[in-house]
A and B are shown apart, each in its own frame.
Chain A
Amino acid sequence: MTSFIIAPRPSEPSGRDRISHLSLAQMVQDVLTTMLELPHESFQGSPETIAPNQLMAAVRISGSWQATLQIYAPEKLARHIACAMFAQAADVLDDEDVLDAFGEVVNVIGGNVKGMIDQDCTLSLPCVGAAQPDPTPTSLTIRYDVCGTLLTVELIQA
């Protein structure tokens, strides 16, 4: 697991709409339901409601189809996700466990995206760190209210 600060990426127009909002939402729901077993519901709020100083995790799909998948959430939710994955209380998990779990979430969703594209592509290892979310609504964006906290998933095709 690599941990570092991830600079926000400027948005770029999508070239091919291989992944629909619906299909990406289904992948995220599968992770929240099957892997994490966390209650969640779709969130339709505006980007302005996303707080700064959140954790971000990202994977890059490279090859004949290219995209970056990134997720971000407050540290509180990332820790909640880690508790679900480790099946342990928050006070026994350290920061590395939280980064590991958050990175695995984006890794699973990214792998599913790559599988749907089904082209000659490679998936990077997940990177996790602190990031300021890009306030510009630019790409395929999905938000879920997970345990009362916002999880944002963005797919940037480029």
Chain B
Amino acid sequence: MKILIVDDSKAMRMIVCRTLKQTDFSGFTVIEAENGIDALNKIASESPDLVLSDWNMPEMKGIDLLKRVRDSGNNVRFGFITSESSLETKALAHESGADFLVTKPFTAGSMQAALDPILT
């Protein structure tokens, strides 16, 4: 399984990657993108199985990335990992085709709970 982590913060990309390794999931490889446009290119070139994206990023926000992905007919599994935890944000993510939203700060447990329904 190939997982694309999208976040403009290098530190947060490392935390997400480290947390993934603390879950029960194994056998995945991680690729990274630092904004939505970078992610679109990586999705096209790498065909990830799962995208884990931040919401608030320069160049292209996570929600716009998701809309672009879905508009292109790509149904890759897509989750947000974001500090933006309002009901409005969650509703918009769901309506736009996100599989889940994990709120920062997160634990391996919360990551596991979000991924379990779509990876098992």
Taking Cβ atoms with an 8 Å cutoff, the residues of A that contact B are 1, 30-31, 34-35, 82, 85-87, 97, 100-101, 103-104, 107-112, 114-115, 117-120, 123, 125
Contact = CB atoms under 8 A, between A and B. Distances in A.
B10 A97 contact: yes
A10 to B, nearest CB: 27
Contacts, number: 75
B60 to A, nearest CB: 13
A100 B87 CA distance: 27
Kindly name the residue among A30, A82, A87, A111 whose own CB sees the greatest number of chain B CB atoms within 10 A.
Answer: A111
B103 to A, nearest CB: 7
A123 B18 CA distance: 26
A34 B105 CA distance: 6
Interface stretch (B24-32, B39-47, B67-75, B78-86): B78-86
B84 A123 contact: yes
Contacts of A119: 86
B112 interface: no
A116 to B, nearest CB: 8
Q: What are the 3 tightest A-B residue pairs by CB atom distance, in nearest-first order?
A: A111-B83, A115-B85, A35-B105
A123 B56 contact: yes
B96 interface: no
Contacts of A107: 9, 56, 83
Nearest to B104: A108
Contacts of B82: 111
A110 B83 contact: yes
A125 B56 contact: yes
B76 interface: no
Contacts of A123: 56, 83-84
A100 B105 contact: no
Interface string B54-73: 01111000000000000000
A87 B14 contact: yes
Contact of B84 (A35, A114, A125): A114
A128 B85 CA distance: 23
B84 A104 contact: no
A108 B83 contact: yes
Contacts of A108: 83, 104-105
Contacts of A111: 55-56, 82-85, 103-104
Kindly name the residue among B12, B18, B89 whose own CB sees the greatest number of chain A CB atoms within 10 A.
Answer: B12
Contacts of A103: 9
Contacts of A120: 88
A110 B104 CA distance: 11
Contacts of B87: 118
A112 to B, nearest CB: 6
